[in-house]
Amino acid sequence: MIFRKSTIEGRRQVSIKRSQALLRMDAFFEPGVPFYVNRVSESFDMLEHSHEFVELTYVSEGSGVHYIGGEAWPAEQGSLFLIPVGLSHVFRPKTPRKDRQLVVYNCIFPADYLRELEAAFPRDREVFAAFLEPDMPWLEIKDQSGEYHALFRELYREYAGRSPGWLLLLTSLLVRVLTGLYRHRLQLDPPAVRRQGSLTINESIAYMERHFASDLRLGELAAQASLSPRHFSRLFTRQTGMSFTAYLQGIRMDAACRMLIESDGSVSEIAARAGYSDLKFFHRLFKQKTGLTPRQYRQRWKG
């Protein structure tokens, strides 16, 4: 999967100003139907536009350029794009020749529908929450196996045919596409997607191990990793099995235990060196984690 942000090398910045349009939901959605699916040939007539909904676009035939978020990116057969709400974009075919058209499938849905899917599948809510982040970037993947082409063909057939159960099938197909995008996103190669100087999750953990006594904040580490706090927290928990706060407290408690055994410093000094300025909170947390007060712990384990 290719994860696109404006800092990635290799793209061409687009500086020409274009007329832009806003595509509104009421122009596409029928009452009670949270989807719109079509298959179109892109032309040079379409204005660059943003929209009030999330768009999935699959390039079925031909090639061209996708102007998106101020960048120009190749649009080739097998390219699948996710375009967030409000992001300006437009497709242009490589050539105006009728026998070499740029043909795409579009599947659009309101962002609120992702919230409905979160509620419907609480155990897998992170799949849908990932596409609701405020700083969600546009995404592209290359469909090497043709799996997504088959899914989009079926999406289009079901939407156009309206056979019994078509809304249920559309939901299941969309969930399959979104789950695939989510899995690809989790498998990203960090060096290929993070800004120069940013931290990976493993590097963030190592940083916490070295600087546990400082005022560490999830938001600041997330910024260093070029991630939103929500996405950083999700990846951190996936990597460690613990929340950011629980992991940090574990590091600090381990350090405090070592210092109680290996040094003669006072409890207040050790609490400060472990990163706790509130001595009462330190005592309460230490007792909660070890079952002993700091003094009892030192008496039991110090040789």
**What whole-number percentage of the chain has pLDDT above 90?**
50
**Looking at residue 134, what is its pLDDT?**
78
In contact, 104 and 40? CB cutoff 8 Å: yes
Tell me the per-residue pLDDT of 13-71, one tens digit each, with 9 for 90 and over.
333 334 468 899 999 999 999 999 999 999 888 888 999 999 999 999 998 899 988 78
Q: How far is it, in rounded angstroms, from Cα 172 to Cα 237?
A: 28
What are the φ and ψ backbone dihedral angles of 23, each rounded to 5 degrees? -90, 125
One fold for 194-241 and 245-301: yes
- Residues 6+ positions from 131 with CB-CB distance below 8 Å: 54, 82, 84, 114, 178, 181, 182
| CB-count burial class (<10 Å; 0-12, 13-18, 19+) for 5 | middle
More confident residue, 280 or 137: 280
Structure confidence at residue 188 as a pLDDT band (50, 70, 90):
low
Tell me the per-residue pLDDT of 79-104, one tens digit each, with 9 for 90 and over.
999 999 999 999 999 877 777 899 99
Structure confidence at residue 303 as a pLDDT band (50, 70, 90):
low
**Looking at residue 193, what is its pLDDT?**
40
Q: What CATH topology corresponds to 245-301?
A: Arc Repressor Mutant, subunit A (1.10.10)
CATH code of the region 194-241: 1.10.10
More confident residue, 223 or 109: 109
**Looking at residue 28, what is its pLDDT?**
94
Does 170 score more than 50 pLDDT? yes
Tell me the per-residue pLDDT of 253-297, one tens digit each, with 9 for 90 and over.
989 998 998 888 999 999 999 999 899 999 999 999 889 999 999
**Looking at residue 239, what is its pLDDT?**
79
Does 203 score more than 70 pLDDT? yes
Per DSSP, the residues of 234-295 read: HHHHHHHSS-HHHHHHHHHHHHHHHHHHH----HHHHHHHTT-S-HHHHHHHHHHHHSS-HH
**What whole-number percentage of the chain has pLDDT above 70?**
89
**Looking at residue 21, what is its pLDDT?**
84
What are the φ and ψ backbone dihedral angles of 120, each rounded to 5 degrees? -75, -30
Domain ranges (residues) in the chain: 2-192, 194-241, 245-301
Structure token digits, residue 141: 């993947």
CATH code of the region 2-192: 2.60.120.280
**Looking at residue 187, what is its pLDDT?**
64
Does 3 score more than 50 pLDDT? no
When pLDDT is averaged across residues 202-206 and rounded to a whole number, the result is 80
Structure confidence at residue 204 as a pLDDT band (50, 70, 90):
confident
Average pLDDT in the chain: 85
Measured in whole angstroms, the distance separating CA 215 from the mean position of its chain's CA atoms is: 26
